[in-house]
């Protein structure tokens, strides 16, 4: 691999990759070759006769016909030379073989819009900056898994075809399923809770989720990767928040250690590992703080709107020097039926949203584990308990107090890298108007 050349000794070497640039000069040819780990300069001095006429030979003829993006294998002599701007090394060619030639006209360029780039995502992902995003994603997920596994969590894989909705009847994709209708899973919520009744104690899953939400914002998708965890024997949603912040710290620490320098170079972003505990602010207090800053959250619902999230994040950054904040105690009117309500105020829930750099990335809560209350709260949300019988059975045979959260992976990466659109941090984006590639 090209990244290994710097530590290799001068001498024979073979590399392969995509042609990035070609400089076809009269006396010497240069090719910049890139694989998924880096780039190297290939050099081919041209043969000329006594009269100074260039002799058409190999690999000169092949190089003259190369188009950007062609995949080639190159053999030659590796040489370390501090004068070479690209990594201080180059390869003097002896042979060059074209495995696949690319069409000369490249459909996207550096100034192409994001929709055009998404049309040609496989070419877009060849860019080192975009390639790095998914190395960061791998490191982040691996760190979360290491934390979970080292703390005795069990990984599960829940079905994505559902007989009934897992959140509400809104935002559901219906699917023909033999002689009936199925739904694409909005979240693994029911099955995460089943694991608590089954005695698993602590579980996690990283998998797809689906929302039939016709939003065209920079932070919504109809299919996304959800990071989910659930744990038993909790006293309140405070236990869930503690787990959540510890996971975030583990993930950010791993990313900073492995990719921090590259992120600074390519994104001009300093990855900050957050301190714990994260700030916690009840939603009502957060709205008051935002109002004092000059912004009134619209009163048509009980939630915090996007501008309110940005404002409270700015406040937390100024007051605490922190990029994260838990907004707690959301109204039961906007929370799912399975969120536990305050013992002394049924209008509030033992729940939270985690806000990161001005955007909500996660919702967590203590779950209601008393079946008679679950049935009542389901009816309030317009759900028929009979349709939820399989789910309610989990609570009819004994289940410990439990809670958990679901977090959007692409949003976390988008905000970590200070990007403006989660399409950048989604391998293949799905939205209301996009099903390809």
Question: Binding residue per annotation — 411?
Answer: yes
Range list for CATH 3.30.930.10 in the chain:
119-416
Range list for CATH 2.40.50.140 in the chain:
2-100
The string of pLDDT tens digits covering residues 220-262 is 999 999 999 999 999 999 999 999 999 999 999 999 999 999 9
Contact 201, 175 (CB under 8 A): no
Question: Binding residue per annotation — 17?
Answer: no
The total number of residues shown for the chain amounts to 437
Secondary structure of residue 138 in the 3-state scheme: helix
C-alpha to C-alpha distance for 57 and 67, rounded to whole angstroms: 18
Whole-model pTM: value is 0.94
Q: Extract the tokens encoding 432.
A: 């209301």
Residues 6+ positions from 337 with CB-CB distance below 8 Å: 368, 374, 377, 378, 380, 381, 383
Looking at domain 119-416, its CATH architecture is 2-Layer Sandwich (3.30)
Predicted pLDDT of residue 116: 97
Q: Extract the tokens encoding 413.
A: 């990466």
The string of pLDDT tens digits covering residues 114-159 is 999 999 999 999 999 999 999 999 999 999 999 999 999 999 999 9
Backbone angles phi, psi at 291, to 5 degrees: -65, -40
Predicted pLDDT of residue 166: 63
Backbone angles phi, psi at 208, to 5 degrees: -75, 150
Looking at domain 2-100, its CATH architecture is Beta Barrel (2.40)
Question: Binding residue per annotation — 367?
Answer: yes
| Residue ranges of the chain with per-residue pLDDT less than 70 | 165-170, 300-301
Contacts 24+ apart (CB under 8 A), 282-285: 282/327, 282/328, 282/329, 283/327, 283/328, 283/329, 283/330, 283/331, 284/329
Question: Binding residue per annotation — 409?
Answer: yes
Question: Binding residue per annotation — 123?
Answer: no
Predicted pLDDT of residue 110: 86
C-alpha to C-alpha distance for 206 and 89, rounded to whole angstroms: 41
**Would the CA dihedral through 409, 413, 416, 422 be positive or negative?**
negative
Contact 239, 280 (CB under 8 A): no
Predicted pLDDT of residue 17: 97
Q: Tell how strand 28-35 and strand 11-24 pair up.
A: antiparallel
Residue 334 burial (CB count, 10 A)? 13
Question: Binding residue per annotation — 308?
Answer: no
Question: What are the CA-CA distances from residue 47 to residues 27, 31, 174 (Å)?
Answer: 8, 17, 67
């Amino acid at each position: 691999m090209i990244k290994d050349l710097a530590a290799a000794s001068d001498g024979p070497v073979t590399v392969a990759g995509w042609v990035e640039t070609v400089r076809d000069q009269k006396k010497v040819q240069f090719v910049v070759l890139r694989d998924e780990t880096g780039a190297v300069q290939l050099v081919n001095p041209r043969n000329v006769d006594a009269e100074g006429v260039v002799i058409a030979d190999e690999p000169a003829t092949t190089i003259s016909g190369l188009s950007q993006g062609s995949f080639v294998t190159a053999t030659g002599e590796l040489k370390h030379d501090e004068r070479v701007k690209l990594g201080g090394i180059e390869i003097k060619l002896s042979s060059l073989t074209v495995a696949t030639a690319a069409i000369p006209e490249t459909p996207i360029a550096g100034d192409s819009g994001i929709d055009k780039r998404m049309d040609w995502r496989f070419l877009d992902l060849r860019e080192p900056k975009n390639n790095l995003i998914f190395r960061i994603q791998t490191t982040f997920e691996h760190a979360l898994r290491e934390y979970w596994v080292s703390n005795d969590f069990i990984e599960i894989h829940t079905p994505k075809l559902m007989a009934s909705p897992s959140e509400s009847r809104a935002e559901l994709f219906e699917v023909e399923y033999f002689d009936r209708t199925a739904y694409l899973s909005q979240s693994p919520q029911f099955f995460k809770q089943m694991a608590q009744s089954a005695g698993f104690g602590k579980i996690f899953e990283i998998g797809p989720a689906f929302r039939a939400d016709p939003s065209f914002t920079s932070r919504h998708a109809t299919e996304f990767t959800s990071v989910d965890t659930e744990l038993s024997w909790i006293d309140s949603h405070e236990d869930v928040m503690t787990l959540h912040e510890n996971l975030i710290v583990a993930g950010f620490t791993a990313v900073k250690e492995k990719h921090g320098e590259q992120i600074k170079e390519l994104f001009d972003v300093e990855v900050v590992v957050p301190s714990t505990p994260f700030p916690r602010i009840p939603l009502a207090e957060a709205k008051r703080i935002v109002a004092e800053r000059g912004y009134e959250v619209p009163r048509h619902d009980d939630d915090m709107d996007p501008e309110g999230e940005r404002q409270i994040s700015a406040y937390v950054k100024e007051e605490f020097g922190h990029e994260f904040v838990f907004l707690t105690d959301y109204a039961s009117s906007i929370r799912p039926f399975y969120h536990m309500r305050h013992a002394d105020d049924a209008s509030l829930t033992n729940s939270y949203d985690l806000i990161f750099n001005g955007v909500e990335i996660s919702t967590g809560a203590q779950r209601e584990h008393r079946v008679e209350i679950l049935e009542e709260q389901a009816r309030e949300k317009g759900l028929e308990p009979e349709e939820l019988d399989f789910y309610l059975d989990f609570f009819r045979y004994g289940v410990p107090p439990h809670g958990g959260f679901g977090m959007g992976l692409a949003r976390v990466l988008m905000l970590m890298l200070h990007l403006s659109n989660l399409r950048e941090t989604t391998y293949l984006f799905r939205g209301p108007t996009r099903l390809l590639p």
